[in-house]
Structure 1
């Protein structure tokens, strides 16, 4: 039976994905730094395996992966790197510590998980890594500069590893949604002009559906929503300055 380990599983996209894959009959493992919320979700889904985890702690990452994969013959069909944080605001008004936390969790945490998961993925037929990317990984988005930097890094890592790990039979891809209606977005105190103009039109469940499609497809990048698909393909066929110009228009105060 296929298995999936989801980081950032306690709420939002991670929780919606856990519910969907559990309903589809997969063996689901849940990890998140929010232990109480994680335990509540695990109980809701019938007592799923779960572990509190800070993805920036490489030693704990290795321990948790070893524990989960030991329950499945040392194999891991799918790692979903969903853990991440976000902070809207003017770059100079966000503390250096907050910028560092965004990069540490969104990039270093993903690197920790993916690196430690390699031997289990390599041992599994049709293994796959799905990274939580973003529309902000297509082009830097004002008022979320460090978040954009983290998602551009995720995009680059995804592209490189998908090529590098083909020889091991491991596919690597990412999901690229625009703004999603999750607690992470709704809790923000600053509203970027881009969000005001584009709106928050996606739900966590729609992104979970895209994750399910990605788990059964070969795409490297999966842009989500018609709105962003148009922007994504514009970026593939037009000069870079066109994307920059459009981002400037969308983000104008």
Structure 2
């Protein structure tokens, strides 16, 4: 049975993505820092195996161990999705260096930690996906660290894709060009559908960055 691990799982896009995979019969592994949020999400995933771990997703020890534990329990990783980022309202004159580094550890570092931990359980055909943002190209100066995170995330995804391609594993970042909303184009469900579709691109026409919409 195919398995997905979602890092930074919660009630938004990642929750919608988890339900999409569960609806297709996939086993689901969830990693996040809020046990209540993980439990609430797990309760919506019906008829499939669900495993969850609470961890600091940016910590190379606890975050990495959580992903390793889930991969070992599920026996395989067909898709690894990395979702977390930090919104901190601070412009470049107010943003402290230590806060920027902490934010990048979550918004970019979590991807690095998760892929290194999951890689031994991934084989040809496996995919890595990440939730990107237009902030990578059009940063809002009053939340400067978010643009840095999303630009770094996309850059790392491209490097990962080139590194993993010889093994038949591909990586993709979906750049969401709008703000999440409860209706219209940018609902969590529609963004999740775009992320799922991005992992199922034709390998011969693969793009490591896909824009939505």
**Shared fold, TM over 0.5:** yes
Structure 2 CA distance for aligned equivalents of residues 39 and 165 of structure 1: 32
Structure 2 CA distance for aligned equivalents of residues 12 and 97 of structure 1: 28
> Post-superposition, which runs of at least 4 consecutive aligned residues in structure 1 deviate over 6 A?
none
Alignment root-mean-square deviation, CA: 2.2
Task: Tell me the TM-score normalized by structure 2.
Answer: 0.87
| Aligned residue number for residue 249 of structure 1 | none
| Aligned residue number for residue 77 of structure 1 | 78
Report how far residue 86 of structure 1 moved: 1.4
Give SS of 1:9's match.
coil
Give SS of 2:61's match.
helix
Structure 2 CA distance for aligned equivalents of residues 52 and 26 of structure 1: 21
| Aligned residue number for residue 29 of structure 1 | 29
Q: Judge which range, 167-176 or 141-150, deviates more.
A: 141-150
Structure 2 CA distance for aligned equivalents of residues 145 and 97 of structure 1: 13
Unmatched segments (≥5 aa) in structure 2: none
1:216 and 2:200 correspond: yes
Task: Tell me the TM-score normalized by structure 1.
Answer: 0.74
Give SS of 1:92's match.
coil
Structure 2 CA distance for aligned equivalents of residues 101 and 66 of structure 1: 23
Name the structure where helix makes up a greater proportion of residues.
Answer: 1
Contact 1:180 1:204 in 2 (8 A): no
Contact 1:13 1:182 in 2 (8 A): no
| Aligned residue number for residue 43 of structure 1 | 43
Structure 2 CA distance for aligned equivalents of residues 206 and 27 of structure 1: 21
Structure 2 CA distance for aligned equivalents of residues 94 and 205 of structure 1: 33
Structure 2 CA distance for aligned equivalents of residues 105 and 221 of structure 1: 20
